[in-house]
Amino acid sequence: AAMSRKGVKALVDSLARSAKHFNKSEVECLVKLFDTLVARASSDYAGAGFDRTVFRDTLHSAFGMTDDVVLDRVFSTFDRDNDGCITVVEWVEGLGVLLRGTLEEKMKLCFTIYDLNGDGYISREEMFQMLKNSLLIQPADEEPDEGIKDLVEIALKKMASTYLLCVSFLLQDHDHDGKLSFTDFEKAVRDENLLLEAFGPCLPDIK
């Protein structure tokens, strides 16, 4: 059901306080956009939010994000209660980090996106999956998986060359177990900000 004007004002006031990266007028615009997106969504959520499909379509059209794996992972970071529905609070607060988050917030977001199984590490297999989706050009006579395996090895052994900078990772794998912790990820990104999206584009660009 449509919210009363008073209810909308109270919601906007509350979100303007919790979503620290937006001012009140921006929050109001995002709430209006949310209502438009809810109208497109399945009725399963009774107007409380919208589903994965609407979310992915919106990020694709608004920000040019096209990687299905990344979009699903971004959806999961927004959907904090894991109910398959993006509520207005999740929408506004999630966009706050996605669009205007601090470096610390964006590092946590990207790490969470790359940590596919949520165990607190980016494993060799997870690197493989993310890089596989990011590799756009593959010689016709080369097996795609072999190319990805090579990139993962480069990432773990700190042997990335300049032309592979955006799809490789200069991290110390201290335990030599093929897994990267958030501490290692954070250190590398602070040393070189370009490595924030090393395993695939998961943030809108500046434009």
Distance CA 184, CA 166 (A): 17
Q: What is the pLDDT of residues 120-173, one digit of tens each?
A: 998 888 888 887 766 554 445 455 566 667 666 665 554 333 334 434 444 445
Question: 136 and 112 share a domain?
Answer: yes
Domain count, the chain: 2
Query: Is 151:170 a contact under the CB 8 Å cutoff?
Result: no
**Domain span including residue 176:** 105-195
Please give the model's pTM, rounded to 2 decimal places: 0.77
Query: Is 145:81 a contact under the CB 8 Å cutoff?
Result: no
Q: What is the pLDDT of residues 8-63, one digit of tens each?
A: 788 888 888 888 899 999 999 999 999 889 887 766 666 788 999 999 999 999 98
Q: What is the pLDDT of residue 151?
A: 64
Question: 61 and 131 share a domain?
Answer: no
Question: 14 and 94 share a domain?
Answer: yes
Question: 111 and 95 share a domain?
Answer: no
Distance CA 159, CA 148 (A): 15
Q: What is the pLDDT of residue 134?
A: 63
Q: CA separation (Å) from 190 to 63, 104, 185?
A: 25, 9, 9
Is residue 95 very low, low, confident or very high in pLDDT (cuts 50, 70, 90)?
very high
